[in-house]
Each structure stands twice: as C-alpha cells, then as structure tokens.
Amino acid sequence: MEKLALLLIGFFFSLAAALERSQFPPGFLFGTSTSSYQIEGGYLEDNKSLSNWDAFTRMPGKINDGTNGNIADDHYHLYKDDVELMHSLGVNSYRFSISWPRVLPRGRHGDINWNGISFYNDLIDTLLLKGIQPFVTLNHYDIPQELEDRFGSWLNPQIQEEYGYFADVCFKAFGEKVKYWITFNEPNLMIKWAYMIGIYPPGRCSQPFGDCTFGNSTAEPYIAAHNLILAHATAVDIYRKKYQAKQRGSIGIVMAIEWKEPFSNNEMDRLGAARSVAFAVAWFLDPLIFGDYPSEMREILGPRLPTFSSDEKKKLQNNLDFIGINHYTTRYAKDCLFSPCDSLTAESEGFVIGTAEKDGCLIGAPTAVPGLFVVPSGLEKAILYVMQRYNNISMFITENGFAQDSRSDSKMEELLNDRERVEFHRSYLSSLLNAMRKGADVRGYFIWSLIDNFEWLFGYTKRFGLYHVNYDTQERTPKLSAKWYKKFLQGSGIQSKANNCNSLNKDLSE
C-alpha cells in the first residue's frame, strides 16, 4: 500500500513538475477574466440605462438561441459569492469591465448614476479585502444606447470627448484602488464585426461583406477605428495629466491576436501571413505606439485609411504602458495579392485568405467555437511578434480559454469533467513560458472565464467557465479545470511546499 502511495505521489509530482507556478516570476498575476454584459444581468436595475447590446439582443434573429444578458449570471447581485469563488481558487487578480450605461446612463448628457459607482466600488473593495488586484476594462463592447441614437457612436468624432468623460469619471471614482486600466477590449474584432460584417451592434455593413440595411463595409470600419484610437488617446491623456502621478497605475489596451502561419513555405505566403497580422493588430497598435497606421495597410487601402494630423500623431505616440493579448487560436494564411483571390472581401484582411485546413488536416484540434483550433505554439509566436515590433513592451495575456458546447441534452457531469480545458491551459501556459524564456516581458495570465456566461452571438450555447453555471438556479459548480487551476496556483504540494513559502514571502516583501 505504502509503496503504491509513494508511486502515485511520485507520478503526480512528475506530472506537475512539467508546469509549475514557481517557474513564473514572483508577483506574476494569475487571474480570471469576465465582462459586464456577459455576467452582470440587472439590466435595468438601479437606474442603469439600456446598452447597445440590450437593444441589439432584442432584435429577432441576432442571437443564435434568442437569449440576452438581462439576467446572465446575475453577478450584479451575486458578486460577493463570485469573489469568494476567486478567493478559493487562489488567484491574485481579476479582470472585469465596467458597464458604461450603469455608471453614465446617458453618457455626458445626464447625471452620474451613483448606484453604478457604488456597485463597482463595493466589488473592488471586496476584491482588495481578499488580496485580489482589480484589472479593469473601461469598455468591453457595451455602450449607452443613447450614444448610438444621438450621434452614431464610433462613426462620429464626438465619441472621443464622450469616452474621455466616461474614463475621467472612472479614474476619479476608482483610481485610488485600481492599478491596471484597459481602455478597450478587442477593438479590432469589435469594429470589424460591427461595421464590416455587421453582426455586432450597430449592425452596419454593405455587400458582399454582409447583409445590412445601412452601412459601408469598405469605408466605415476605418472611420470608426480612427475615432476609437483617438478616444483611447483622449482617455490616456486625461489619466497621465490628472491621475497617474498620484494614483500610480498603468494603462493599456487589449487586442485580439489570432496567430497566422504561412500556408506554404513560399515567400508570398510568408509575407501574406505577416501582412494579415498587421491588418488585424498593428492597425491599432502602430498608431498608439509610433503615431501612425502601419505601412502595410496604407499601401493597400490608400486614402480610405484616414490620416492623423501632426498634433494627433504627437499625442498618440507612446500611448500604452502595456499591451493586453487575448489569444484563442491560430490559422493558416494564404496569399492572394499575387495569386488570385476567391473572395471579394480579402482586401480588408490585406489580401490574405485564412484557413484552418491544409492537405486534408486541421491545424489543431477543433473546439466548440467554429474557427477556434487548439494550437499552443501560436501564443508564443503572438507574444514574440508584439515583443519585437513594439520594442519589448510589457504584456499581459488578458484572455485565453476553451469553449464547450452546451446543448439541451448536455450532461452536467460531462460538462464538469473538462479534461480538454485543463490540457488546453497547461499547454498554452507552457507556450507562454517559452516566450518568457526568450525575453518577452509578460506579467500576467487571465483565464477566460471565471464562470460560464452569455457568449455574445452564441447566447448560452457555449461554456468557457472554470465554474459551471446553472442558469435556472444560478448555482456555480467547480469544473475539473477549477480544481486544476487551484492546485496549480497552490504549487504542486508535498515536495515543493518549502518553495511555496519562499515565493509567498517574496510576494509579501515586495
């Protein structure tokens, strides 16, 4: 018996030894991620107004299962329980977003909603009491619908001042306690889906990109992005001039970075892969660091890409303290600048066609979300790309996660036994370590998501949580992955106990 026990202990230790928390620097942030519309519910409570997503989900046919975020995870009422879940996991940070219409129901055209301010203050205080750093996204897709109705939100330069006002209110209300700010979540995806394909609010596009009543897919995305980039700069300017010296926090942006492998070894595909990453990522990051759009985009889009004045260029340079990376997948990129394109829309991706299949094989295991494949090495490559292009700027992996299908006949025990998710995170964390060994300055890793939640167009049919949520009872149940994350965060037990104490002491003395 004893021998068997020792063998088992040895076996588990060797498994855990492959990946351990102690391989990451002390002070490294390990957390979980969520966003306001996806978890809060309370959609009209305490004077919150309707957001663009409240309005959009009411339109028939927009969300796969016809659902919405009216209640979602009811986190608005259950936030204390959810912080307790995080405390039991042992995370030292939590990334969440602020609902703009909860804090400013009418933008700057009405009063501050003090109920909204006190909700986020209570959440932040509850986190800090448990030793969990708040990592706050100012805007994760949801805006007051009034800003859409009044002036067309991102298409109108007025949004810059509007967003600056919102950011100022948040820095003032929460900034003494918040050390990490993110201006925008995945604007590169949001703008394309809202103004190019038209499947996110306000649902604008033109043929052949999509089927919308209004919009212009070849012009509006670049105008909306331009206003968003300048809105970011307005907020950062306010933070740096009025708050940063006193509050001692840092501010960055989060980009969705899908990695692209060249479809073949030829020069065209290699250039194509690089060009498509520039179109997706450097579109926002080049202006915010170097002060202008990437030449890769200017060469192809010409005057359709707006221009920055010389004052704006100055204001934009070095506008990021860090870059947040949301990473879910990698696909192949096939050049179609030099070879014929079978898609009229390829110009917007830099004349590249993305594909997951080559010689009858997929690039990685498929997941419950179409287009997302498990390719761990893509994370290392995405990180090294950002490190090299942006002069070794500091980075956080602000989202990385694995989806399960949730059908009416899905069995709870199968959903709880999410071994694939455990394997996913182990392999992506190893890939992250590889990038850090090559010199990348990565300071944190956040799993998407703490709890199952409203997955935008998929409604409640995909589950990304470490905790399962029963949407009838709001009961949260830890999945295998929650137990794994907790163990990983505790260290691997038995023989490494002494190390844990050391690293804890180091954390405390910092």
Ligand X SMILES: *[C@@H]1O[C@H](CO)[C@@H](O)[C@H](O)[C@H]1NC(C)=O
Is 399 considered catalytic here? yes
Among residues 439, 475, 497, 506, the one that binds ligand X under rule CB under 6 A: 439
Q: What are phi and psi of 297, to 5 degrees?
A: -80, -40
Report d(CA 406, CA 372) in Å as an integer. Answer: 16
Q: Which is nearer to ligand X, 78 or 393 (CB)?
A: 393
Residues 388-427 that bind ligand X (CB under 6 A): 392
Report d(CA 491, CA 486) in Å as an integer. Answer: 9
Question: Residue 310, preceding bond cis, omega within 30 degrees?
Answer: no
Binding mask 214-253 for ligand X (x = CB under 6 A): --x-xx----------------------------------
Residue 303 contacts residue 324 (beta carbons within 8 Å): no
Q: 376-397: b or e for each residue (b if 16 or more CB lie within 10 Å)?
A: bbbbbbbbebbbebbeebbbbb
In the complex, minimum distance from the CB of residue 49 to ligand X, in angstroms, rounded to a whole number: 10
Size of the site for ligand X (CB under 6 A): 10
* Cβ-based neighbour number of residue 59 at 10 Å: 10
- Residue 347: DSSP 8-state: G
In the complex, minimum distance from the CB of residue 473 to ligand X, in angstroms, rounded to a whole number: 27
- Residue 457: DSSP 8-state: G
Cα distances (angstroms) measured from residue 125 to each of 80, 96, 174, 176, 345: 10, 14, 10, 11, 47
Q: Which is nearer to ligand X, 221 or 350 (CB)?
A: 221
Q: Is 441 in the site for ligand X (CB under 6 A)?
A: yes
Binding mask 190-219 for ligand X (x = CB under 6 A): ----------------x---------x-xx
* Cβ-based neighbour number of residue 126 at 10 Å: 18
Q: Indicate which residue of 148, 349, 380, 399 is catalytic.
A: 399
By beta carbon distance, the residue nearest ligand X is: 439
In the complex, minimum distance from the CB of residue 262 to ligand X, in angstroms, rounded to a whole number: 24
Q: Which is nearer to ligand X, 219 or 268 (CB)?
A: 219
Q: Is 115 in the site for ligand X (CB under 6 A)?
A: yes
Q: Which is nearer to ligand X, 392 or 502 (CB)?
A: 392
Report d(CA 116, CA 134) in Å as an integer. Answer: 17
Residue 440 contacts residue 391 (beta carbons within 8 Å): no
* Cβ-based neighbour number of residue 312 at 10 Å: 17
Binding mask 31-70 for ligand X (x = CB under 6 A): ---------------xx-----------------------
Q: Which is nearer to ligand X, 188 or 217 (CB)?
A: 217
Amino acid at 469: V
Residues in contact with ligand X by the rule CB under 6 A: 46-47, 115, 206, 216, 218-219, 392, 439, 441
For the annotated catalytic residues, the residue numbers are 399
